[in-house]
Amino acid sequence: INQKEINQAAEKYIEMVGLNIPPDKSVESLSAGQQQLIEIAKALSSNARIILLDEPTSSISVNEAEMLLNLIKRLRDQGISFIFVSHKIEEVLGLADSVTVLRDGRNVLSADGEISSPIKDMTRDELITRMVGRTKEFQSLEMRDFDKSDVVLEAKELRSVESSKPKTFKLRRGELLGWYGLVGAGRTEFARAIIGYDSILGGELYVNGEKVKVKNITQIQNKHKIYYLSENRKEEGLFLDHNVKTNITSSVLKKMRGFLFFLNPRKEQETAERFRGELQIKTPSLRQTVRNLSGGNQQKVALSKGLAVDPEILIIDEPTVGIDIKTKADIHRIMYDITKKGKSVICITSDMPELVQIADRIIVFRDGRIAGELINNKDYDHMSKEIMNLIMA
């Protein structure tokens, strides 16, 4: 093996995809966006003329996604063809020449069996309707007023290890509260301090008017009925190599006990079946390994695991990242239905349209602090400007 020639060839393809990194650098040390570009460089090195990309921007930053999309356009102009699988409407409309819509394993683009349609003939609303099969889920949820509702969670000048600036906020019964901010704004760190993952340095936390000294996540979850669903569901929310039933019931094993403290298979089955139906989890069997489910159904399993605890407050971090648009609508419905039962939800999201669509009230984070609070009037143009004013102030 001629290592010099290998390095020279690697440098050539690394440069072709717009990266400036040494060829002997460990891929593990690269960002997710850089790893995607290396995958394309690898394909180019084998003289690929057709490249299939499956959700290539689902786990990379906005800047990295823009770099990747520009590379795809450049290579397309050089004669390389791409099949671009994505649930992100704007990316498809801005990149593709033609589009095919698949739903439930079928091509649903048209009744006459067209395989694809020129993108210029397809509007955003029509594309959404084809993907979902209905449009009502994409209407903004009704405006609701919670000024007179009981305060179920309150932080006063709360400071955590990872987010040292003090923060104050209130969450009311039945409210769906949105937390918005750019990456690194401190939303997740603040949530993790509230539920006991991270230490609290100062300030006060109240649950249903009672001052709480946070000791650990078990205390917050079991005694105070607050459940946190991590943004990293595959590592912190699921047992990927176990089945659906085991995952759903893993948070309530005490409730699943039967004779002599052994698990009761009937209770496990009934609990798992209930959430499978209520959350419309698509799986051939409750014995199916969670790793083999789609991202959207994995998220529903993780959510079922949390709802099985019957929490009064659900904190859900980036609930719809990396899932298809229909499942995204399902997750919105589930969160809204939870609040209609008198429970409260904090939704942490970087998706501004999603936030304006579902939240009753919005708290904007910036640089580790709360930059402001907004009552959501469901007018996206107005709300997006107000949010960005707080972000950029």
Q: What is the residue-averaged pLDDT of the chain?
A: 88
Would residue 79 be called left, alpha or beta, if left means φ above 0 and alpha means ψ between -120 and 50 degrees?
A: left
* Cα–Cα distance for residue pair 345/334, rounded to 1 Å: 11
Among 151, 204, 166, 141, residue whose Cα is nearest residue 313: 151
119, pLDDT greater than 90: no
Residue 109 within any structural domain of the chain: no
In a domain, 107, yes or no: no
Q: Are residues 272 and 190 in the same domain?
A: yes
Same domain, 316 and 196: yes
Task: Give domain status of residue 114, yes or no.
Answer: no
Answer yes or no: is 126 within a domain. no
Domain end residue (candidates: 96, 116, 139): 96
pLDDT tens digits for 30-73? 888 888 889 999 999 999 999 999 888 876 777 888 888 999 99
For range 350-354, the mean pLDDT: 87
Give 350's pLDDT tier (boundaries 50, 70, 90).
Answer: confident
pLDDT at 107: 82
Q: Is the pLDDT of residue 325 over 50?
A: yes
Q: Which residue has the higher pLDDT, 163 or 148?
A: 148
CATH number for the domain spanning 26: value is: 3.40.50.300
Whether residue 258 sits in one domain with residue 160: yes
> Do 200 and 306 sit in the same domain of this protein?
yes
Distances 150 to 173, 245, 282 between C-alpha atoms, Å: 6, 35, 37
Residue 173 resides in a domain: yes
Query: Is 195 in the same domain as 59?
Result: no
Alpha helices in the chain (DSSP H): 3-16, 32-45, 62-77, 89-95, 124-132, 187-194, 217-222, 244-249, 265-278, 295-307, 325-340, 352-358, 380-392
105 in a structural domain: no
- Model confidence band, residue 133 (pLDDT cutoffs 50, 70, 90): low
Q: Of 69, 96, 123, which residue constitutes the final position of a domain?
A: 96
Same domain, 171 and 290: yes
Please name the residues in contact with 7: beta carbons below 8 A apart, sequence gap of 6 or more: 23, 24
- How large a percentage of the chain has pLDDT more than 90? 58
* pLDDT at residue number 388: 86
Q: Is 225 left (phi over 0), alpha (psi -120 to 50) or beta?
A: left
DSSP letter at 257 equals B
Q: Which of 85-89, 101-105, 138-142 has the lowest mean pLDDT?
A: 138-142
Shared domain check, 315 and 243: yes
| Together in a domain, 49 and 191 | no
Q: Which two tokens stand for residue 46?
A: 């084998």
Q: Given 79, 96, 113, which residue is the final one in a domain? A: 96
- Range of lowest pLDDT (121-135, 178-192, 306-320): 121-135
Number of domains observed in the structure of the chain: 2
143 belongs to a structural domain: no
Provide the domain limits for residue 171: 151-392
pTM of the model: 0.72
Residue 110 located in a structural domain? no
Q: Is the pLDDT of residue 382 over 50?
A: yes
165 plus 313 within the same structural domain = yes
